[in-house]
């Protein structure tokens, strides 16, 4: 009976098993890495940006002092955020989402629900003034943060963002993205009432 000889390519015959395994791992590494990045990106897309935590919650507002938006006599400083519960809304004339939430702030101002202050982010003075003049100005005070440095101290991710400030000058809540009716009714307004009770010595 004739033996049939089995031949292998020289490189396969000479390569140790460990080397073959390492080569396979090297070839698979890019695919594994891409899969991991894709999973991370998908998770970020599925997350609610308004739920991102803020390191400033429970801490005093950053120290700052800004002039008012063009045409407004009252600027905004950290000293103005003591003594009463208030909102600070970070906005800009070039921000599309700011326009969507603006009617809610006008309503709060009209009904005198809570003082709303505006932090105008990286805007040209004439654009910010024109925007408020045309859409209506709901802000008790405004601060023109033209270079964005104050917003950085506040930990702002982008515009719009809104902060609930307690009467003690501490940040109680941060809303990332535009304020909605749901966020206002379910989160922000109840928190405002709770903070007001606390400031008067009531129960939380």
Is 3 a residue whose pLDDT tops 90?
Answer: no
Nearest to 161 by CA among 142, 177, 146, 150: 177
Residues above pLDDT 90, as percent of the chain: 70
In whole angstroms, what is the distance from residue 66 CA to residue 74 CA? 9
Which of 21-30, 60-69, 132-141, 181-190 is predicted with the least confidence, judged by mean pLDDT?
A: 21-30
Residue 60 pLDDT > 60, yes or no?
Answer: yes
pLDDT (average), residues 196-203: 85
C-alpha–C-alpha distance, residues 78 and 81, integer Å:
5
E strands, the chain, are 65-66, 76-77, 86-91, 116-121, 142-145, 161-165, 171-176
Rounded CA-CA distance 137/127 in Å is: 14
Label residue 55 by pLDDT band (50, 70, 90). confident
Across 38-47, 97-106, 151-160, 185-194, least confident range: 38-47
- Cβ-count burial of 135 within 10 angstroms (0-12 exposed, 13-18 middle, 19+ buried)? middle
Confidence of residue 77 (pLDDT cuts 50, 70, 90): very high
What would the mean pLDDT of 87-112 be, rounded to a whole number? 97
pLDDT of residue 54: 65
Q: Name the pTM for this structure.
A: 0.74
More confident residue, 16 or 54: 54
DSSP, res 121 = E
Burial of residue 51 (number of CB atoms within 10 Å: 0-12, 13-18, 19+): exposed
Pairing verdict, β 86-91 and 161-165 = antiparallel
């Amino acid at each position: 009976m004739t033996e049939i000889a089995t031949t292998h390519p020289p490189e396969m015959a000479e390569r140790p098993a460990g080397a073959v395994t390492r080569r396979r791992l090297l070839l698979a590494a890019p695919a594994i890495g891409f899969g991991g990045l894709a999973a991370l990106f998908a998770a970020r897309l599925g997350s609610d940006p308004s739920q991102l935590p803020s390191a400033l919650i429970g801490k005093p507002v950053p120290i700052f002092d800004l002039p008012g938006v063009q045409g407004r006599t009252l600027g905004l400083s950290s000293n103005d955020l003591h003594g009463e519960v208030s909102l600070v809304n970070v906005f800009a004339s070039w921000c599309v989402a700011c326009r969507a939430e603006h009617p809610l702030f006008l309503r709060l101002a009209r009904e005198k629900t809570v003082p709303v202050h505006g932090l105008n982010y990286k805007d040209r003075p004439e654009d910010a003034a024109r925007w408020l003049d045309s859409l209506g100005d709901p802000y008790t005070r405004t601060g023109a943060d033209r270079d964005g440095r104050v917003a950085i101290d506040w930990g702002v991710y982008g515009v719009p963002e809104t902060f609930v400030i307690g009467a003690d000058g501490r940040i109680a809540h941060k809303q990332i993205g535009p304020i909605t009716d749901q966020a206002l009714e379910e989160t922000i307004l109840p928190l405002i009432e709770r903070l007001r009770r606390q400031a008067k010595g009531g129960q939380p």
